[in-house]
Amino acid sequence: MQGAEPFTLLCCRDAAGVAELVASRLLEARQRWPQLPLGLATGRTMEPVYAALQRQVARLDPPARQVLREGWLSFNLDEYVGLAPRDPGSFAQAMAQALQQPLGLAAEQVQLPDGLSPSPEAEALRYGAALQASGGLGLQVLGIGLNGHVGFNEPPCTAELGCRPVELSAATRLQNAAAFHGDPKAVPAEAITLGLVEILAARELLLVATGRSKAAVLHRLLSEDPSPQLPASWLRSHPRLTLVVDAAALAPGPVGPVVSST
Ligand code: GLP
C-alpha cells in the first residue's frame, strides 16, 4: 500500500473490552510522556472508554492517583462553533461530565477549543499554538466518522492542514444528531478541529472503532491507499499507529452504512 506504514491491529471481543484496553493505554501514556498532553476525542465510542478510565483510576493507590490528577493535561480534538461550554450538546460539557468532574480535575487541565470565540479563525490559531507550546501530543486517541473523518477533518482533506474552523457535512450532522434530540439541523454547521498536522505530530496514535456501523469505514481504512477522500487514511503514514476495534467493527459481510464524500 502506497504511503502507509505497518500498524498494529488489536481486536477485542466487544466495546467493553475495547474501553478497558484504551483506558489502560491512556494511563500508560501519562507515565510514558508525563510532560506531554494527551489528545482526546468525544463521541459515543469514547463514552465507555472514559467510564473505564474512571474505574481504573479509582483502583490506583492514592499517591499514584494524586500524581495523575496533578499532572493531567489533555487537549480535545474539536468543538462545535457557537456552543457554550455548558451547552448539553457541546464537547466541553461531554468532557466535563465524562472526565473532568469524575477525576476531580481543574477545568484548565482539560482543554478544548472555545466554541464561543467571536473569531473561530483566531481561536483555532490560539488553540493550535497552545498545544504546540505544551510540547505537542503524547498519545492521541481518535474515533472515526462514518465518512472517514477524524476529529472534524471532513473529506476531502489533505494531511497538510492544521487547526482550523471547518464546515460540517450533512452526513456528520446526521451522525451526531443524537446529542441534539435527534435533529440534524440542530447540530451546529461549523466546528473547530485540530488538523492532521497536529494529529500526525503526536508521538503515538490510537484509533478506536466499535460496532457494526463502523465496519464499512474500517474496511475502507484497511484496504484503500491514503487519500483525501478518507481523512483517517492519513493516520496510516504514522510510524506508531494502533487500531483498537471490536469484533463487530471488523465483521465481514453486509455492513453498516457506507458514507462516501461525494
Ligand atoms: C465525531 C467527532 C469525532 C468522533 C467521531 C465518531 O463527529 N468529531 O472526534 O471520533 O465523530 O463519533 P462516534 O464515536 O459517536 O461514532
Nearest CA to ligand 1 atom 13: 43
Residue to substitute in 163, 168, 175, 212 for testing ligand 1 pocket (most ligand atoms within 8 angstroms of CB): 175
pLDDT-derived band at 255, boundaries 50, 70, 90: very low
1 domain-assigned: no
pLDDT-derived band at 3, boundaries 50, 70, 90: confident
Domain count of the fold of the chain? 1
Rounded percentage of the chain residues whose pLDDT exceeds 90:
94
Alpha-carbon torsion angle 39, 149, 12, 202, nearest 10? -30
- pLDDT computed for residue 253 by the predictor: 56
30 domain-assigned: yes
Residue 141 near residue 240, CB atoms below 8 Å: no
Compute how many other C-beta atoms are within 10 angstroms of the C-beta atom of residue 63.
Answer: 8
Q: How far apart are the C-alpha atoms of 178 and 201, rounded to whole Å?
A: 32
pLDDT-derived band at 240, boundaries 50, 70, 90: very high
141 domain-assigned: yes
Catalytic machinery residues: 78, 147, 149, 154
Rounded percentage of the chain residues whose pLDDT exceeds 70:
96
pLDDT-derived band at 260, boundaries 50, 70, 90: very low
pTM for the whole structure: 0.95
Measured in degrees and rounded to the nearest 5, phi and psi for residue 236 equal -70, -10
Q: Record the cell numbers describing residue 22, joined without a space.
A: 484504551
Q: State the average pLDDT for the chain.
A: 95
Owning domain of residue 20 = 8-261
- Look at residue 80 and tell me whether its pLDDT is greater than 80: yes
Local structure of 9: helix, strand or coil: strand
186 domain-assigned: yes
